[in-house]
Amino acid sequence: MFKKLLTIVILLSAIFLISACAKKEIKPAGGIISQPNININNMQITSPQFEHNGYLPDKYGCQGTNINPPLTISDLPKDAKSLALIVDDPDAPRGVWTHWVVFNIAPDAKEISEGSVPAGATQGINDFGKTNYGEPCPPFGEHRYFFKLYALDTMLDLDSKTTKQNLEQAMAGHVLAQAEIIGLFSRK
């Protein structure tokens, strides 16, 4: 009798713990605490120049012309008011290195053209201390470059002095959906 009672108590405790854990907020890559019911799976960011987890062509890195690759955006939430893009390298020797910060991209943008910033969008400061796309140029080995797109329920009251950290703080609680594509690059 005692063993059956103990088994029931253990099972009920396990069910309680599982249901409590299921109610926690989702914390996606990049440190943004998303809102409940975040739409992670539908929105997409792709590129005609590289596949997800594929190699970035040399022209988008330090052996090229220091221009951003073209990106295609699709399946945004209908209630998105703006988009933000962060490009960073988690494999950098000193920790995550930010290559590009862009925000207040119009939600009707279907693409970010090669070597350009969408009209009306603002570029923030990357870890090179500049407000532009900073080319991938790993000191050694192969690095991953995460192109992270966020759909937001607001326009952000930020300026060109905004860093990735400032942007992430401002986006907290406003993320409706997110998507990413990863490009690989190694210096030859």
pLDDT value of position 4: 57
8 domain residue, yes or no: no
pLDDT above 80: residue 186: yes
Confidence of residue 20 (pLDDT cuts 50, 70, 90): very low
pLDDT above 70: residue 6: no
Q: What share of the chain is helix, strand, coil (3-state, %, to 5)?
A: 15, 30, 55
Contact 131, 62 (CB under 8 A): no
Helix (H, G, I), strand (E, B), or coil: what is residue 161? coil
pLDDT above 90: residue 38: no
pLDDT in tens, 103-127: 999 999 999 999 999 999 999 999 9
pLDDT value of position 81: 97
Contact 113, 132 (CB under 8 A): no
106 domain residue, yes or no: yes
> How many domains does the chain fold into?
1
> Domain containing 134: what range?
27-186
Closest listed residue to residue 30, CA positions, set 98, 128, 115: 98
> Long-range contacts for 89-96 (Cβ within 8 Å, ≥24 apart)?
89/136, 89/138, 89/143, 89/144, 89/145, 89/146, 90/144, 90/146, 91/138, 91/141, 91/142, 91/143, 91/144, 92/138, 92/143, 93/139
11 domain residue, yes or no: no
pLDDT value of position 64: 82
pLDDT in tens, 51-105: 999 999 999 998 888 899 999 999 999 999 999 999 999 999 999 999 999 999 9
Contact 84, 102 (CB under 8 A): yes
CATH number of the domain encompassing residue 55: 3.90.280.10
pLDDT above 90: residue 23: no
**Stronger pLDDT, 18 or 146, i.e. the higher one:** 146
Contact 178, 148 (CB under 8 A): yes
- Whole-model pTM over 0.85: no
133 domain residue, yes or no: yes
38 domain residue, yes or no: yes
DSSP code per residue over 12-78: HHHHHHHHHHHTSPP--TTS--PPTT-B-SS-EEE-SS--TTEEPPGGGSTTTT--PPPEEEE---T
69 domain residue, yes or no: yes
Phi, psi of 20 (to 5 degrees): -65, -40
Beta bridge partners of 98: 88
CA neighbours closer than 13 Å in the CB half-sphere of residue 87 = 28
46 domain residue, yes or no: yes
16 domain residue, yes or no: no
* Overall average pLDDT of the 8-32 stretch: 42
pLDDT in tens, 137-176: 999 899 999 999 999 999 999 999 999 999 999 999 999 9
